[in-house]
Structure 1
Amino acid sequence: MNPTNDTFIRAELISFARDPGDGDKPEPGSLEHYGDGLLWLKGQHIHAIGHFAELSPSLPKGADVLDYRDKLIMPGFIDTHVHYVQLDIMASYGRQLLDWLNDYTFPEECRFADHAHAETLSNAFLDEMLRAGTTTAQVFGSSHPGAMDAFFNACQKRHLRMLAGKVLMDRNAPDALLDGATGIADSERLIEDWHGNGRLGYSLTPRFAPTSTKKQMDAAGALLRNDPTLWLQTHLAENSGELDWVADLFPGSRDYLAVYEEAGLVGPRSTFAHGIHLDNGMRKRLADRGANIAFCPSSNLFLGSGLFDREAAKQTGMAFTFASDIGAGTDLSGFGTLKAAYQVGQLNGQPLTAWQGFYGLTMGNAKALSLDSHIGQLAPSLEADFVVIDPQATSLLARRINRCATLGERLFALMMLADDRAIYETWSGGQCQHRRDTV
């Protein structure tokens, strides 16, 4: 029993303070690693982290310590682009992007007019995210405001740090999904009710340029200018057919990115999913405004959209993040996202190191979303969001891990072979929200 109601966990601890670089070893000072560490929680926050031998004399008398010395603890995984309303259409037979929208996405999202359905799917989605070790995500909903109330309420009950928003679209979609008369007003009401409520944040969410008129995007830009604490999420340059469609719909705009720039939607809290078909000028404009591209490797492969160019992003200073893009993505697991990112990198001659992968999935994503003062590291005063990883979760993973001679090799093996079975526990806000061996 812990007299102070603090929580003490003994385990191997890994956390990134900054970008580890592209080398075979992380740059000095970028990584904190404690082979036998202690994570000390006070309520919803981390109180201390360090070597067990150094911190243990400071523990309260009679403190119970959770002994996870055979486990590895990292900050909770962060997913910068995911559609909760598409959970049930994962693994639908592949189409290109625009066919995917018409054949699967739009019919599925019509179901979210039913509040009971939205409640059920909200909880199912969060269960799956936590099972996969994801503690924070930036989430697309549907165009129905009630579906977002259901989602935010489910997050609030679990004390999760989440960003989400109601999809805005007032054209080029089924009538049951269009929100032209009320979309902005509904967004304003949702912002009032949920933005900054507990650990929740609101992301303005135009689906993409083809489904929003200039009037709607301009109105979203005005909301963003009036409240710089809001986030913005949409799609950009995912598919060649999409680019042609945007050029036809906005003949007066310089390029696809300019459509968003003209509406005031490009800024330091803006996430643009995909960004595959960009030139360096567009990348530099995104970099200059502090926006980020959500790299969605499994989705890009599944829909045959193309290969994201990480090296071009690096050379132009454009920030990018890692995301699952469920439901076109094929894996909710951050491990799966990194595995696909490595494969895309190999095809581009840009191999992804484990250091870069796990930094990106934690601190890198937190920083790009302006959440690094709250989450992304195992550090004193930050929120206690973390995952407990079991390197022996499967016989194959255990065999490979047992042959690894270095930390880098072990992390790479996890990146390539682990899945949700390796997530032993997921903690958010200082509470264990998922335990693998408990139904």
Structure 2
Amino acid sequence: MHQLTALPRPVGKLLATLGHKLDRNLPGRYRGRIARFLGPQPGRYVSPDLGSKDALLAAFAKRGIRYAVIGGQSPAIPGITDRLAIMVDDEDVNAARRMVTPWPTGEQIEAYSPSGLPGFAFGDMPLMPPRLARRLLDGATPVNGVSTVAPRDHFFATLFRLVYLRGLDSGIPAAEASTGSSPVTTAIEDQARQLGLALETPITLESLDAFLANHDWQPPLDMLERIGCWNPWVADKLRKAGEWVGSEAPGLTVFYLRQRTMDEGKTDMVLDKLASSGFRLLPVPPLTPEQLADVTAEVRGGNWGRGPFPLSGGNPGAVYVAHDSAPIPPDAETLRQFPLLDNNRIQLAKQAVRDAVHAGLPRNQRYNAMHSTDNAVQAWRAVRELHPALEPELRALTNGN
């Protein structure tokens, strides 16, 4: 529940309206401070200037905003809310911001963008891999004047949200706990039958995970890891596969240097900061343009936007494999912010790089210069994908510290 909705209605409404007006007229850094002070929670509401979701969709059409309704307009499956859920093209998010608000001034909706831009994300990540979100946008067609995803796409998007974003809370059982059908599994089976899709029975999280994988709707491992931070079923799935944090000894890290950093001639400075932070670069060849294109598409779910910075650092331009012979265990406070981290030196090095890159830059010219793996499991996975023939040699180098 939104914190303001717990206040007496007139007070909560007044604060929400004030917050909404400030949100439209102040610079971003001040909006953030006020939002933290008044305590709004994640979520979106129809702007009071519009009043209803129908008016919102009409305004989108009038402004030429590219969107797709992905929930709330089709037969519901128990466990998924029936409120309006929309996917807005990244290019149109700025225009859409004036029509929706984080303040509870009107009808509640869900609003996302393919890359999970601020205010249009699921927590701190895209709702789904950007390629799947773009698939929904590309396949949407007008239905009674509303841009709506096809029934088949809606079904897959709903299963995705049930299995990966809700897990056991969806009402779908895990295989070992399955005791037969339930309202949610019956509804899933009925919709699949209407769409001509064959499901393995009994319906479980495991069977739906395999079904989604077979239809190219399973998220990549790095996104599954982030989901596993709140979905214990996903965390257990990865743990059994040896793909969860702790399955490898900490120390190895892969750093993704972004193109803007290289274009500004700051590569050597970044590598010096990594070395002074305690990382030793390992001997791996530079990636080919084809490999860099694959990294761009797969790592971070294909999301290389600007994030919380004024500018984007661009796509990855170079990838380095490094080893820390004396990892620093993250403390509890750090793990609350970075639950997948296995070596605090990674964060220290990234902050040192960020400070060096931003030195002398105006605030509006700052960007994220570098991305990295969070733990050794992710790093060794990247090595297997990028330099499979070198894994034995790299393990020998790291085992000897």
Q: Is TM-score (shorter-chain normalized) higher than 0.5?
A: no
Considering fraction of residues, name the structure with more strand. Answer: 1
Alignment TM-score, normalising by the size of structure 2:
0.32
Higher relative contact order (CA 8 A, sep 6+): 1
Instruction: From the CA coordinates, give the structure whose radius of gyration is larger.
Output: 2
Alignment TM-score, normalising by the size of structure 1:
0.30
Considering fraction of residues, name the structure with more helix. Answer: 2
